[in-house]
Amino acid sequence: MARIVAGVGTSHTPAIGAAVDLGKTQEPYWVPLFKGYEPSKRWMAQTRPDVVIMVYNDHVNAFDFKMIPTFGLGCAEEFPIADEGWGPRPVPVVKGYPELAAHLVQSLVLDEFDMTIVNEMPVDHGLTVPLTLMCGSPPAWPCPVIPLAVNVIQYPAPTGHRCFKLGQAIRRAVASWDEDLKVVIFGTGGMSHQIQGPRAGLVNPQFDQAFLDGLAHDPERLVKIQPLEYLRDAGAEAIELVMWLIMRGALGEKVHEVYRFYHVPASSTAVGHIILEAR
Amino acid sequence: MAKDKQEAYEDIPGTWVFDAQRARRGYHLNEFLYSLMKDANRKEFLADERAYTLKFKMSEEQRTAVLERAWNRMLELGAVSYALAKLAFTDGKSYQFMAARMTGMSEPEYVEMMLKGGRSPEGWRSKSERRGKS
């Protein structure tokens, strides 16, 4: 049977992708950040997942405002890299896993999570930056990826509680797939950041550290954080952290924290990262 | 939207929450911004900005804000930041340039603030807190 063996939480700041693509990783501004992900790359290479489920959000690239799915599950064989306005990132095309994705849709809808089925979509930095951080710059990504796009742009985003329960349903769905597969689930975005308006640049390390602590030891506390609290304490775009709760919900009750990293800044964001193995 | 929720959003200083009502008002403005992902549209826009914007059903207020690059006003009138970024890129500017303009800082000042750990949430949580009313 397939099983979710681990979860990865990480920011997906576009400037990180640009730093790699433009050869700036050795510049003093970027050195500490990429150093922080070196152990993660080794962990990823050792773990060798068969499939990644990538919980992320599109940033007005695949979806404009004609239709806004709250949860969109990518069921395609492959996903092209989006041109976000400065040309597509020079990274490999993302291969999907349509058989397992179709099973997830089937299982999740019957489990009362009404997924939007997405058969064609380009993927933007929200999905490719986490792959770059965890896998480096290989000629092809090491495994297929099932994208799960979450609306966190138009308020209200789904609540943390709903996201956590979706994660639990994903765990059940994966466990009911016969193929023997090792699955790693990513929750991306965050951490504290606000990138627009007079309040832009807001960062709250106390909030972020408490969130990382909660993921490892007390997710029930995080599930109760209200949208307004994210906004007030950690910035308008910190609402992306609900996507980390999908990842956490998919890991089951007990986890082992393998690694944690925190760094400010990458452009306008606080970068947070955690690796949790399911027990 | 319920009045109490709206007031809670409006109590946060320095931000315009992109909720369902603001998104509704901003729909045509955001569709205009989204159209700038295509190079041909960017060229057409830059050749005659006002004429291009007339193809979209946005309000005159929104149109003026676009032509003046009044970034915060566009946010207030329903633009979402990721769509606004397409306009900044059309101008050959970076996201960071746009964000700095929204704060009233120069880009180097903004970068410096981020390198020092960013903007503290103290004083930015609530307008009533700023007035000392708890």
- Which residue in B41, B91, B119 has the most chain A C-beta atoms within 10 A of its own C-beta, making it the best mutation to test that interface? B119
Contact criterion met (CB < 8 Å) for A84 and B83: no
The secondary element (H helix, E strand) that includes residue B45 is: helix B39-47
A145-155 pLDDT, tens digit per residue, is 999 999 999 99
How do the pLDDT tens digits run along chain B, 134 residues long?
466 777 889 999 999 999 999 999 999 999 999 999 999 999 999 999 999 999 999 999 999 999 999 999 999 999 999 999 999 999 999 999 999 999 999 999 999 999 999 999 999 999 988 887 54
φ, ψ dihedrals at B26, nearest 5° = -95, 0
Distances from the Cα of A190 to the Cα of A70, A144, B81, angstroms: 18, 24, 16
Closest-CA residue in chain A for B105?
A198
**Mean pLDDT for chain B overall:** 94
Closest-CA residue in chain B for A227?
B9
B15 touching A (Cβ < 8 Å): yes
Angle between helices B20-35 and B60-67 (to 10 degrees): 50
Note the pTM of the prediction, 2 decimals.
0.97
- Which residue in B1, B4, B10, B17 has the most chain A C-beta atoms within 10 A of its own C-beta, making it the best mutation to test that interface? B17
CATH for B3-128 is 1.10.700.10
| C-alpha–C-alpha distance, residues A127 and A191, integer Å | 16
Parallel/antiparallel/unpaired status of strands A51-56 and A145-150: parallel
Domain boundaries defined on chain B: 3-128
Domains annotated for chain A, with CATH where assigned, are: 3-278 (3.40.830.10)
Count interface pairs A-B at CB distance under 8 A.
140
> Which residues on A lie below 8 Å from B126 (Cβ)?
232
What is this model's ipTM? Answer: 0.93
A200-238 pLDDT, tens digit per residue, is 999 999 999 999 999 999 999 999 999 999 999 999 999
| C-alpha–C-alpha distance, residues A24 and A239, integer Å | 29
